[in-house]
Structure formats: C-alpha cells, structure tokens
Amino acid sequence: MARHGGRGWHRRVLAAAVGVTAAAAATSIWTAQANPVAGQHSSAHAGASNAGAKAPGGKPVSMDIAHASDRGARGVNITIDDGPDPTWTPQVLRVLRDNGVKATFCMVGTQAQAHPDLVKTVVAAGHRLCDHTVSHDTTMDTKSQAYQSQQILDAARMITQASGGVRPLYYRAPGGAFTPYSRHLAAAQGMRPLGWNVDSKDFERPGTNAVITTVKSEISNGPTVLFHDAGGDRSQTVAALREVLPWLKQQGYAFGFPVR
C-alpha cells in the first residue's frame, strides 16, 4: 500500500511492539550477524536484483519483489494486510471461503502474537502467510540494518509460533519500504519479497463503491491486489470483496498465489 501519515492505529501497534522488539533485539541482531548472507552490507547487493538467496532447507528464493501470479497471465493474487483482527479477519475469511478463493495474509507480528487462533484458522483454510514486520513501520528503509533485521526476523518468529509452526512464505515491507538488505535478508529466510500492482485504497475508507471501482479499473496493471483486514473499520473491504471476487471470476481470472 502507499505510505500514509498520521495513522493512529499504526502508532499504537508501534508502541505495543517496542517492548517486544527491545526484548528480542539481542537475539535478532545475533541471528543476522551469525548468518553470513544476512549480515552483509546492503551496498553489496545494489544492482543484484536477479540474485537468489538460499532459504532454510537449501531452496533458493529470489530477492526480487514479486508481483506475478502462479496462475499465469490471467491470475489474480488477493493479499490481505495488517491483521489478524478478531472482528474483520473472520469476515474476510468468510467471503473468501464463499467464493472459493485462497489469499495471502500479510500479518503484523504483534497482531499474530495476540490472536494465534486466527492465524491457525487462516492456515487451516489453505491461505498463505506473509511477514509484515513487528510494528508496521513505514520508514523501515531509513532505519539501520539491525533494526530491519529485528523487525523482519522477530515478526517471522511471532507468526510461525502463532501458526503452530507454519512459516511465512513472503515478506512485504510496510508501505513498500524495501531495501536491498531487507530483501536479501527475507529471501535468505525463505520469504519472497512481495509487492502489489493494485492498491484498492480500502485503508482510506473512501466508500465501498470507490474501492470496487479502483480494483476494476486498475486490475489491468497486474495481478496482485492489496486489501486490509485490520487498522480500523474494514466493513467497506468486506463489502467490496463480496462484489469484486465474483466479478473477477466473470472476467475470466483465476485466483492464485504470488510467485515464489
């Protein structure tokens, strides 16, 4: 999603995360330093967008920011950011289930830690997990490598623990604040950096019809569509998904996951 200033919800998430990240900082920084790939300076990776990194288990994951769908040219990836949320995530899951759609949930670490049952429900329904950092700091790209490492690795740990052992397969930087370092670190941990092609603008609550119109008019830009299930009243998101998902099917699109 585009960067937005003055988000009270994200400030509260950041405040809630301070204690968590401070307590885990030493472990996270040690992990990054102990990993010779993750610990390299970001300048070493400048211009290396086509490089891959060895994920845990040895399978290479690209550090390129993914936009494409594993369903090909007529594929659509539904991505849901900032949750899980006890009010809105179940409603989003219901709409997805009713339409037979699998999505990618980009979860904030503290939210996942607070609502592990929802994380497990998301996984049980066949959706995929994505690391959206501990505290949703949209200025990640201005921070130190130690801070970026802490935010990414701690969130991955929180999400994995909440899910009962299922790891996130992607990393989405809040507000798109990627750096070469964060992309390489994520890939080294088996998480493909994940972008988007269509920002539904649902976070701004412009009205259900506006959200629907944005998706319909911009889906030709590419397959990965951004929605939210937390951060405030998401009733417009739920209502928009009820109309957008059947419409996309009628247009001949197939729902998939971002490429790995």
Number of H helices, E strands in the chain: 8, 10
Q: Which amino acids are annotated catalytic?
A: 81, 228
Over the chain (260 residues), what is each successive 10-residue block's mean pLDDT? 45 47 39 32 32 61 98 97 98 98 98 98 98 97 98 98 98 98 98 98 98 98 98 97 98 97
pLDDT score of 70: 98
pLDDT score of 59: 75
**What does R_g of the chain's alpha carbons equal in angstroms?**
17
Cα–Cα distance for residue pair 155/108, rounded to 1 Å? 7
Contact 174, 138 (CB under 8 A): yes
For residues 255, 163, 168 and 106, what is the CA-based torsion angle, rounded to 10 degrees?
60
Q: Is 170 helix (H, G, I), strand (E, B) or coil?
A: strand
pTM for this predicted structure:
0.82
